[in-house]
Amino acid sequence: MTELPAMSKTPALERNATLVSLDKNQLVLEKQEIEVEEVQVQDEEGGLHGWMTVAGGWCAQFVGIGHANAFGVYEDFYKENYLSNESSSAIAWIGSTQLAMLFGMGLIAGPLFDKGHFRTLVYSSAALYILCNFLLSITKPHHFYQVFLSQGIGMGLAMGMMYVPTFGLIGHHFHTRRRAFAMGIASTGSAIGGIVHPIMLNNLINAGGNAFGSGGTEGTFGRAIRINAGMNAGLLGLCILLMRTKKVTGGVKPKVNMGAFFREPEYILVTFGCFLATFGLFFPVVYVQLFSATKGISQSLSFYTLSILNAASTLGRTFPNLLADRIGSLNMLIPITSGLGALVLGYLGVASLASDAVVTVIFGFFSGGFISLMIPTVASLAKHQGEIGARIGITSAVAGISCLAGPPINGALLTGTFKWSRPIIFSGVCTLGGAALLILARAWQAHTRRHSHELQTRSKEEKEELESGRDGRGSSGASTVALPITSTVGISVKEEGEKPALT
């Protein structure tokens, strides 16, 4: 029998030819063409450009979530002075809208990033952020709509168009090991920003006063925002210079079917687990400074509760991520989320400066861990690099709903008489519910992997039995032989001794 020559491969397609029958004069081939995903050349992970991108992402997080983490300062000042004619719940809509836009815009920014529009997204969002930040400084007291449009809508929209692409690009540079750690390092920018922004704004707005709110005026507010906006503009410029896009090599770019994500139980469970947990995540961010003040803690100390929280979250964004690269991001996210819910409920027992400081520090650690692990957990569910942005974007958008609804709900539960137990219990129970969904996601993941392993083992056994049966038949009569995947080109062998013809 004539030996078949080796067939060539194309970059984008692998060819499958299965021999279905063999007789004396002719080989009959059944052709099956299989489209495969683009083969990406996995070069050295990270490298100089990878860590430059992490540094650029750090700057973006400092300006974005880092500034959003300082909303407790704005909440206090607006309630006491600038928007004193509005309720706490109405003021909370500014911060919640900003956070909702930050996460929700991922639904648009993620797919655009996957299509290669990273630079367009970053340039436009940086310009919009700087413009709206400076516009906030010229708003007028008791004009709610001016503050809402510039800070809630404008700055939130800019943050959202930048958030997913920066993490998505880091995911391209760190595709296997150290991905969670690299994303965690970048996310420490929001923690450091959450330290710097509150202290900076508290002192600049309150210039000339002994208590926050009493020393703040329209003039000091405008000056504080302009100084802060200048710093943010410089950091965004540095972000643009540092971040490096990574060219993907290969023939065919894989298509992203976002509808298929919602047929994956583990992805659905993780997404809605993050949605519930986010209700508790931002309760202290918005209300911790006001909470401390109403508990009798001095104003000079309550100023720094947000900074203490964010300083502790810096550790939470690094050490859990190091461990996550070893045991898995989802495995690490579950205990972090459970601890987060328990710490929210821990605020029920706060009655002194010491207890407030302890709960805030530990909560900061767990909140930092949750924020930094949510993104790599979702990215780990991606089947290829081309859908990382879309998956992160959808999950962020769903979490954005709780960012939008959470603070106003907490404000309504709080009421004007400061009934703190009601928003604390609501936020804590929601977070623990999110942890329960993450546990279910892990259980489903384990079940799926076990089932897949059993199928592979069964398939291997059947293949061995088939091969042993063929060996037993020898060369008698007709036989069925499987050829490896080679080419879609038809092969017809006329007779023995005749050269195979390629068609």
Q: Give residue-wise pLDDT tens across range 267-302.
A: 999 999 999 999 888 788 778 878 888 888 877 777
In the chain, helix, strand, coil percent, each to 5? 70, 5, 25
CA–CA distances in Å: residue 327 to residues 163, 322, 374: 26, 9, 15
The rounded Cα 40 to chain-centroid distance in angstroms is 23
Among 437, 385, 444, 96, smallest CA distance to 271 is for 437
| Residue 215 pLDDT level (bands cut at 50, 70, 90) | low
Question: Which range is least confidently modeled, 23-27, 183-187, 466-470?
Answer: 23-27
CA–CA separation, 105 and 404 (whole Å): 12
Tokens encoding 461 = 């056994």
Residues 80-101 pLDDT 10s: 888 888 887 788 889 888 888 8
pLDDT given for residue 234 in this prediction: 95
Tokens encoding 91 = 């003021």
Res. 112: pLDDT tops 80: yes
CA–CA separation, 152 and 369 (whole Å): 26
500 three-state secondary structure? coil
pLDDT given for residue 11 in this prediction: 40
CA–CA distances in Å: residue 82 to residues 140, 147, 156, 419: 8, 10, 20, 24
CB 132 within 8 A of CB 154: yes
Domains and CATH numbers, the chain: 47-245+264-450 (1.20.1250.20)
DSSP state, 412? H
CA–CA separation, 36 and 461 (whole Å): 26
| Residue 472 pLDDT level (bands cut at 50, 70, 90) | low
CB 373 within 8 A of CB 347: no
Among 276, 278, 265, smallest CA distance to 370 is for 278
Average of pLDDT values for 138-147?
Answer: 93
The continuous run of DSSP H or E covering 17 comes out as strand 13-22
Res. 4: pLDDT tops 60: no
CA–CA separation, 296 and 274 (whole Å): 33
pLDDT given for residue 25 in this prediction: 40
Contacts of 476 (CB under 8 A, 6+ apart): none
Residues 172-188 pLDDT 10s: 888 767 778 888 889 88
Tokens encoding 224 = 């504080």
Tokens encoding 81 = 């002075």
Res. 225: pLDDT tops 90: yes
CA–CA separation, 124 and 5 (whole Å): 55
42 three-state secondary structure? coil
pLDDT given for residue 60 in this prediction: 94
27 three-state secondary structure? strand
The predicted model scores a pTM of 0.69
For the chain, the average pLDDT equals 79
Contacts of 441 (CB under 8 A, 6+ apart): 265, 266, 269, 270, 273, 330
Q: Please tell me which residue, 221 or 6, carries the higher pLDDT value.
A: 221
Res. 496: pLDDT tops 50: no
pLDDT given for residue 50 in this prediction: 86
Average of pLDDT values for 327-331?
Answer: 90
